[in-house]
Amino acid sequence: MISLEKRQQPSQVITAITPLIAVALTMIVGGILFSFYGADPVESIRVIFWDPMFNQQFAGFTRPQLLVKAGPLILIAIGLSIGFRAGIWNIGAEGQYIVGAICGAGAGLAFYPSESPLIFPLMILCGALGGLAWAMIPAFLKVRFGTNEILVSLMLVYVAQNILISVSTGLLRNPEGMGFPGSRNFKQWDAAHNAEIIANTGMHWGVVAAFIAVIGAYVMMARHIQGFNIRLSGEAPRAARFAGVNPGRVVFLCLGLAGLLAGLAGLFEVTGPAGQVSGQFNAGYGFTAIIVAFLGRLHPIGILLAGLLMALTYIGGELAQLMLGLPGAAIQLFQGMLLFFLLATDVFTNYRLRFGKREVLS
Amino acid sequence: MKRRTLLTTTAAATAMALSFGSAALAEAEVTAGFIYIGPPGDGGWTYEHDQARQKMEAHFDGKVKTVYQENVPESADAERAITQMALSGADIIFTTSFGYMDPTNAVAAKFPNVKFEHATGYKREHPNVTTYSARFYEGRAIQGHIAGKMTKTNKIGYIASIPIPEVIRGINSAYIHAKRVNPDVEFSIVWLYTWFDPAKEADAARALIENGADVVLQHTDSTAPQAAAQEAGGVITFGQASDMYDYAPMPRVSSIIDDWAPYYIERVQAVIDGTWESQDTWDGIGKGMVGIGEITDAVPADVKAEALAMKDALASGEYHAFTGPINKADGTAWLAEGETASDGDLLGMNFYVEGITAEVPN
């Protein structure tokens, strides 16, 4: 008989290695799945995990793209992880990301075609404030009226999407766009373009911001009193209150930080890789970042690695479609497996397997 | 299947996958790539592009290899997908959705030796970019005529996608011809802001039907509205982009079929011959790029005869779908008696014609 037995203490070792086990299991089961499509399993796993970094033909392009794809994921996931540690479930990063992009882009476009060097900093500021303001709505409602931040933040994503559609066909529409929706293209306006800092490295300001956020979050959570308060609020809310932590302030801090970082990510994306405000520029980074935050164990370094891994499966998945003719749905299934196996192996953090006969109490 | 085995054997041969594209190129003269907005199984827009891809590949009988990537969002991901395709050794790349316009031009700048063909856009910023589209509005005129004759509630529902001139043109063309045969007809237009989302498309169809519409026209890619109409009963629809004959004879009474195969064959032939040049193609019923699917017996014989007569007149150029007198919705005159619309006016169309009570989203 195999049975599960609760551990007295959650295992630190297991917590650290479950992501690796999950990745390994995903590779095995994914390989089997791909073999059903007539692809060589080893080959397909190699295309997904190896080729984006080391294929001679592609890697020169895809390696920098890993950073481009991982940057916003990491930036948003860092903000979310802080809230998650405090037990504040902000599911609406996608909305904060969109509103940040709209506010930042709008602030810049108001000065078109100025080439002032102040434009881009102003856009960054407005992007951050836009995301922050959008996150303040669920924060305020939670603190003042006790509403559930999961529902409110999620619903605000749909509101943000409708605002995005409205501005891309109205307020921010490119007046020279022949009646087509979408703003001016920031790639063709140097003062507002979030270009690569060093050519062909994928390093744009959003990626830099993501790295800064990782370090900042690490220092705050490990060394700063606010980090302690946040962790305490999540792990022992009553103890936190006795210790004089103001729960309302923690809500504002956590949602505010998450909104700010998501807003920044949106602004950097819209002025860089996406190039223009359009109804489709958001691509779901705010939701994927939730997976990244958990895959990274809500730890800043873990999130950094998880973001890169997630980016790898995206880009590798595209290469697999292109080179092996695998259907897109199979790739999505493969990515879903990663989270599934992570959650499944998570059981072993708190439980251990016990072999042998179950003791029967008589 | 043939393509997959070809690729995998090539892959096995070059064990470390050092040069995918070039190894494959040794066997085929030209590689043609396709970027799809949805899955080839959407039964509509992407399905027809994929059918045309297969016909083109079969036509060249081994001389041309094709690759494709499905479900590519119209976000920063598009630029990466197109770049990867160019890097993989594609000689000509067809990007088959409007939102790929700026990404296509951006990638074209980096790969001057690769030919790019963007469907339904207007930007040809580089000598290696061509645009192509079809005069779908000619088919809409026939639809409008049948719809106006067939409706009993005088309410026609229209599921619109993204407010670009192509879609607005379709609405206007259908309205003008419905109104001409039935002065009491009213259009309800629902904007979904997506090309492909079966759940949203079905919801929109149900909402329109509940509001009394007994004709549902769609400018989205899936067959979901057809299924919703079938479920409701007593409602007629038209296949969009593809024949959607599975839903005949009711609700689907006819269809607009996009036939891209001759165009793809012609353009790939031009690459083989070395005669490819940047151009703009906009063909209609006359050249066979727009086909009218069989009109079923659910349509009275006299209406069917009128519709077929209109088709012939449109094909020969004897009749233009936008022939005056036509006023704009704001009451200003657009086309005088007998005057026909210029292509310039049609390409940038961002207004409704007189009689449509809604407003173009902006």
Inform me whether the C-beta atom of residue B188 falls under 8 Å from chain A C-beta atoms: no
Residues 197-226 of A with CB under 8 A from B: none
Rg (CA), chain B: 21
pLDDT value at residue B19: 39
Q: Please answer whether residues B84 and A323 qualify as being in contact, where contact means their C-beta atoms are separated by less than 8 angstroms.
A: no
pLDDT value at residue B18: 39
pLDDT value at residue B160: 95
Environment class of A51 (CB within 10 Å of its CB; exposed 0-12, middle 13-18, buried 19+): buried
Average pLDDT over chain A, rounded to an integer: 90
Domains, chain A: 1-39+327-362 (no CATH), 42-325 (1.10.3470)
Inform me whether the C-beta atom of residue A38 falls under 8 Å from chain B C-beta atoms: yes
Q: How far is B319 from chain A (nearest CA, A)?
A: 26
Confidence of residue A358 (pLDDT cuts 50, 70, 90): low
Confidence of residue A360 (pLDDT cuts 50, 70, 90): low
Count Cβ atoms below 10 Å from residue B139 Cβ, excluding itself.
30
Taking an 8 Å cut-off on Cβ atoms, the answer to whether A165 and B164 are in contact is no
- Beta bridge mates, A3: A354
Residues of chain B under the 50 pLDDT cut: 1-26
Q: What is the crossing angle of helices A93-109 and A247-271, to 10°? A: 50
Mean pLDDT value across residues A286-305? 92
Q: What is the pLDDT of residues A262-275, one digit of tens each?
A: 999 999 999 998 88
Environment class of A6 (CB within 10 Å of its CB; exposed 0-12, middle 13-18, buried 19+): exposed
Confidence of residue A357 (pLDDT cuts 50, 70, 90): low
Q: Which of B1, B2, B8 to mutate to test the interface with A (most CBs of A within 10 A)?
A: B8
- Given a cut of 80, whether residue A154 has pLDDT beyond it is yes
A37, B149, B169, B313 from B310: Cα distances, Å = 47, 14, 18, 5
Inform me whether the C-beta atom of residue B319 falls under 8 Å from chain A C-beta atoms: no
Q: Please answer whether residues B155 and B214 qualify as being in contact, where contact means their C-beta atoms are separated by less than 8 angstroms.
A: yes
Inform me whether the C-beta atom of residue B164 falls under 8 Å from chain A C-beta atoms: yes
What the block records as the tokens of B233 is: 């009963």
Q: What is the pLDDT of residues A91-124, one digit of tens each?
A: 999 999 999 999 999 999 999 888 899 999 999 9
CA dihedral angle for residue B240, residue B245, residue B247, residue B253, rounded to 10 degrees: 70
Mean pLDDT value across residues A215-228? 92
pLDDT value at residue A93: 96
Count Cβ atoms below 10 Å from residue A116 Cβ, excluding itself.
10
Q: What residue in B sits closest to A272 (Cα-Cα)? A: B76
pLDDT value at residue A9: 82
Q: Position A261: which residue type?
A: L
The model's pTM is: 0.84
Q: What residue in B sits closest to A283 (Cα-Cα)? A: B75
Q: Please answer whether residues B171 and B141 qualify as being in contact, where contact means their C-beta atoms are separated by less than 8 angstroms.
A: no
Taking an 8 Å cut-off on Cβ atoms, the answer to whether B102 and A276 are in contact is yes
Q: How far is B81 from chain A (nearest CA, A)?
A: 7
Mean pLDDT value across residues A322-336? 88
Helix (H) or strand (E) holding B191: strand B186-191
Domains, chain B: 2-134 (3.40.50.2300), 136-257+291-347 (3.40.50.2300)
How far the first Cα of chain A sits from its last, in Å, is 18
What the block records as the tokens of B301 is: 């014989």
How many Å apart are CA B271 and CA B113, to the nearest integer? Answer: 11
DSSP string, B150-179: H-SS-EEEEEE-S-SHHHHHHHHHHHHHHH
Helix (H) or strand (E) holding A149: helix A149-169
| Cβ-nearest to B7 among A69, A323, A329 | A323
A70, A196, A282, A334, B314 from A315: Cα distances, Å = 10, 19, 17, 13, 46
Taking an 8 Å cut-off on Cβ atoms, the answer to whether B75 and A274 are in contact is yes
pLDDT value at residue A361: 55
Taking an 8 Å cut-off on Cβ atoms, the answer to whether B71 and A328 are in contact is yes
pLDDT value at residue A6: 84
Residue with tokens 């409706």: B151
pLDDT value at residue B171: 96
Q: 3-class DSSP state for residue B236?
A: strand
| Cβ-nearest to B348 among A56, A179, A269 | A179
pLDDT value at residue A328: 85
